[in-house]
Amino acid sequence: MKFLVLGAGGQLGREWKRYLEQEGYEHDAFGSSKVDITDRLSVFEALNENRPDVVVNCAAYTDVDGAEDHWNEARELNIDAVENLANLCSDLNATLVHYSTDYVFPGRAEDADTYPDGYPESLTPDPLNNYGLSKFRGEQKIKQSNADHLIIRAAWLCGQFGSNFVKTMLRLARERDKLTVVNDQKSAPSLARNVVENSIALLESRQRGIYHAASEGLISWYDYACEIMNQAGIDIEVEPVSSDEFPQEARRPAYSKLSIEKLRKVEGARIIGWKEGLRALLADLIDDL
């Protein structure tokens, strides 16, 4: 398989680039300064010149709060550009791998009782904020196209590159005497490296449609912060607080665990516990500790 990665300057895109280089896959990888996915001609030229078998779209509008007041920007990146990309992949017979989010679901606390294993792929999305809505509509555009595709949803994505919760906690622990972290939002993290590995497993086993990629377990952000400090050997007080202590423009889900039962059945997929994933990530981040 020959790959073309778009959005290669971001957290997941850089992880894809590293993985493909390490494993010796033929590939090209472009950040937004090289290929702007909102520019139809730029995307067409990249696909037409490189002729990939698989296009991996890691480009997205990811400012959850910003999407509340800047819907046009979110729509342009997460819906319009995705529709164009899907149509171009269909025209050029390339498989599209696209990433979505747990925020497509309603995130009600009581859903933990209804879906204790996490929201299944078969559940009709019902986003609670504009960011989730834009990602859901992007999914719909792909499904409405004729593109051969994989849509992979992740939650609480953390990796070696870019900005994420793990890196933020490590930085704050160096700057403060105490951390305060919300304890009423729960999910299971998706570790970027594991997401890429499982994306490859899905492709190699010729799976298509929608899959969830996350870790085993269910934790709050507070639980996550405590384990980060524990594994990193940092002695600092971590105080649990409610989301009311951190008012934000966009509503956040109280429960957004993604079911991984469908992924579990895929040959070559590797399901990891969230603590195992964190341990591997901290090993990559050792220079930051």
Q: Which residues are catalytic?
A: 131
Residue entry with tokens 């990629």: 213
Cα 264 from Cα 207, distance rounded (Å): 13
Contact of 72 with 119, CB cutoff 8 Å: no
**What interhelical angle do 274-284 and 221-232 show, nearest 10?**
50
Cα 8 from Cα 181, distance rounded (Å): 30
Contact of 219 with 274, CB cutoff 8 Å: yes
Half-sphere exposure of 126 (CA within 13 A, CB side): 8
Cα 20 from Cα 43, distance rounded (Å): 21
How many residues appear in the chain? 289
Quick one: tokens of 20?
A: 């493909």
Strands (E), the chain: 2-6, 26-30, 54-57, 95-101, 149-154, 157-158, 178-182, 186-187, 190-191, 209-212, 219-220, 237-241
